[in-house]
Structure 1
Amino acid sequence: MSKNILLICGSGASSGFMAANMRKAAKKSGLDYKIKAKSEAELADYANDIDALMVGPHLKAEFDAIKDRVPSNVKVILMKPDYYSILDGQGAIDHLKSELG
C-alpha cells in the first residue's frame, strides 16, 4: 500500500536532501512511500493529501501548532536529531515505519 509522506523544515532545503535519502532507503526496503519535502509555509497546500508528516527537529517548539494544521488521520512525527543531522535516510525510514506500525 502506497503512503504519501511529507517532510517539512524551515525552508525546505535540508528536508529536500533528507527526502532524497529516504526515497533511496525506502526503495531498497521495497516500501511504496511517496516522499516529498516542502517548507513549513507550504504545509496547507499538501495537508489533505498525505498519510504522514515528518517535522524537522528544529521545529520542535512549533510541533503542537503544526499538528493542529493537518487532518486528524495524518500521523505527525517529530524527526530525531540523531538521524536528521547526518541526513540518514534509512534511520528516518526506520523511525517512520515504527510510527506507522
Structure 2
Amino acid sequence: MSKKVLLICGSGASSGFMAVNIRKAAKKLGLDYSIKARSESELGDYVDDIDALMVGPHLKAEFQGIKERVPSSIKVILMKPDYYSMLDGKGAVEHLKQELGD
C-alpha cells in the first residue's frame, strides 16, 4: 500500500533535495512511498492527502504547533539533524519506516 509523505521546511528548498534522496532510497528498498516537499506555509494545502508529515529539524521550535495543525490520523515526525544535514535519504527512510511501523 502506498504511503503519501510530505516533507516541510522553511522555504521548501532543502526538503526538496531531501525528498529526491528519500524517493531514491525507498525505491531501492522496494517501498511504495510517494514523497513530496513543500514549504511550511503550504502545509494546509496538502494535509488532507497525506499519511505522514516529516518536519525539518530546524523547525523544532514550531513542531508542536505544526503537529496541532494536522489531523491526529497523520503521523508527524521531526527529522533528525544527523541524516537531514547530509541529505541522507536512506537514513530518513529508516526513520520513516520505524515511525510508521513498516
Q: TM-score range by the shorter chain?
A: over 0.9
Deviations 1:35-58 (A, max 9, x none): 000000000000010000000000
SS in 2 for 1:11: coil
> In the alignment, what sits opposite 2:58?
58
Q: Which amino acid aligns with 2:69?
A: R
Aligned equivalents of 2:71, 2:57: Cα separation in 1: 21
Task: Give the structure-2-normalised TM-score.
Answer: 0.98
> In the alignment, what sits opposite 2:19?
19
**By how many angstroms is 1:77 displaced?**
0.1
Aligned equivalents of 1:68, 1:16: Cα separation in 2: 23
> In the alignment, what sits opposite 1:28?
28
User: Identity over the aligned pairs, expressed in percent?
Assistant: 79
> In the alignment, what sits opposite 1:79?
79
Task: Give the structure-1-normalised TM-score.
Answer: 0.99
Aligned equivalents of 1:31, 1:5: Cα separation in 2: 12
SS in 2 for 1:37: strand
Aligned equivalents of 1:16, 1:33: Cα separation in 2: 15
**Ranges of 4+ aligned residues in structure 1 off by more than 4 Å:** none
State how 1:81-96 maps to structure 2 within 5 Å. Answer: 81-96=81-96
SS in 1 for 2:19: helix
The count of corresponding residues between Structure 1 and Structure 2 is 101
Deviations 1:57-92 (A, max 9, x none): 000000000001111100000000000000000000
Q: Which amino acid aligns with 1:80?
A: K
Q: CA RMSD in A?
A: 0.3
Give the gaps of 5 or more residues in structure 1. none
Aligned equivalents of 1:47, 1:67: Cα separation in 2: 11
